[in-house]
Amino acid sequence: MMKGIKKWRLFALMTTLLVFLAGCGREEISTLIPAGKVAQDQFNLLILSSIVMLFVIIVVSIIFVLAIVKFRRSKMGEDMIPEQVEGSARLEFIWTAVPIVLLLILAVPTVYSTFDLADVTSMDVQAEDGNSTHLTVNVTGKLYWWEFEYPEQGITTAQELVVPTDERVYFNLISADIKHSFWIPSIGGKLDVNPENVNTFYLEFDQESSELEDGVFYGKCAELCGPSHALMDFKVKSVDREEFDQWVTAMQAEPTPAEGALAQQGEELFGQDGLACISCHATSGAVTASGVGPNMATFGDRNRVAGYLEHNEENLKNWIADPQEYKPGNLMPDAASLNGGNELTDQELDALAAYLMGLSVEE
């Protein structure tokens, strides 16, 4: 008796938690709060399939309950034999036709949406000036960060994707090492990022990210790719077309010299022999060549350090000193191994942090 009561209490608790936790989705990362046309179309399919499944559950449950109540042994007796309906044309038609209709209700919009979302023929349409009429971004997945190249604009950035709202943005996805998966939950479904072939798709961003709590949408790697897979995050800033064009212009400009004595010392350290950070990390956005490490031109504008740490100098200094502690398996060596086995002093770490935090193209 007590065991039965405990089971019902547990069931009631889980049901209550399910109801309350259903409202805990965050707008910047929830598939249930779509912020783009692709996400909305996929959400509509989710709702449609849920309605169909709920209909089936309700009908089956009603039939099940009616059968138990109407034909219970205490009411019908031990010797009662139900009416035999074997070979009934009506019943055969019903339980054949109903599943077919339900499958058609699911299949027609699903197939249509699948082909519609896979249609990238307008990606190569050019305007009179020879430029593409749509923005195209080449995405490269690396252990464990993301590179974003804008070929038409001649710029490259990393870890934070910047896109215009209210228009299609096409993506060419490829991996530099192993398989990853590109996913912005609030904007659309995920797509594999393979090393041997380019996958192409498009997304639309209907909402400016400045309206969100963190000011960005969250992107994830959705394919297990190593010990730091869960930390392979990126962020997305969606802005209006005018602001996007201003950002592109700022990225295309030559980087300004570091300001302040500490930042200038950091700039010298960044490029000096020994550390040679510049050999892996570009500090200008106006490059198209893929670097060994992330492009740092917009580091001061980013929302996170290493994709997931709070964006402050303390976390940045900790990352520089020992990146393996924060992202095991990443390809960035610790500062001591680049500095002849000598740890960087606090002064040198402060200088590098000041310089990197000053790399910005946003006003």
Decide if 239 contacts 208 (C-beta within 8 A): yes
Average pLDDT score over the chain? 89
Closest C-alpha to 168, from 215, 122, 202, 128? 202
Q: What is the pLDDT of residues 134-193, one digit of tens each?
A: 899 999 999 999 999 999 999 999 999 999 999 999 999 999 999 999 999 999 999 999
The domain spanning residue 276 has which CATH number?
A: 2.60.40.420
Residues 179 and 248 in one domain: yes
Burial of 283 (0-12, 13-18, 19+ CB in 10 A): buried
Does one domain contain both 103 and 142? yes
Distance (Å, rounded) from C-alpha 160 to C-alpha 216?
9
The predicted-structure confidence for 97-112, as pLDDT tens digits, reads as follows: 999 999 999 999 999 9
75 is a domain residue:
no
Examine the domain organization and report whether 208 and 244 are in the same domain. Answer: yes
Let me know if residue 3 belongs to a domain.
no
Does residue 228 have a pLDDT over 70? yes
Question: Tokens for 253?
Answer: 């400009």
Asked if 348 and 277 touch (Cβ cutoff 8 Å), the reply is no
Residues 194 and 322 in one domain: no
Whether residue 282 sits in one domain with residue 300: yes
Distance separating alpha carbons of residues 303 and 216, to the nearest angstrom: 8
Q: Single out the residue in 189, 217, 252 at which a domain terminates.
A: 252
Check whether residue 187 and residue 286 sit in a common domain.
no
Of 195, 228, 252, the one marking the end of a domain is: 252
Residue 10 belongs to a domain: no
Q: Minimal CA–CA distance to 203: which of 135, 257, 291, 254?
A: 135
Cα angle 48, 123, 290 (rounded to 5 degrees) comes to 110
Residues 197, 230: one domain?
yes
> What's the confidence (pLDDT) of residue 336?
78
Domain that holds residue 53: 25-69+93-120+134-252
Q: Is the peptide bond before 144 cis (omega within 30 degrees of 0)?
A: yes
**Can you give the pTM of this predicted structure?**
0.86
- Pairing relation of β-strands 304-305 and 168-175? unpaired
Q: pLDDT tens digits, residue range 268-282?
A: 999 887 777 888 899
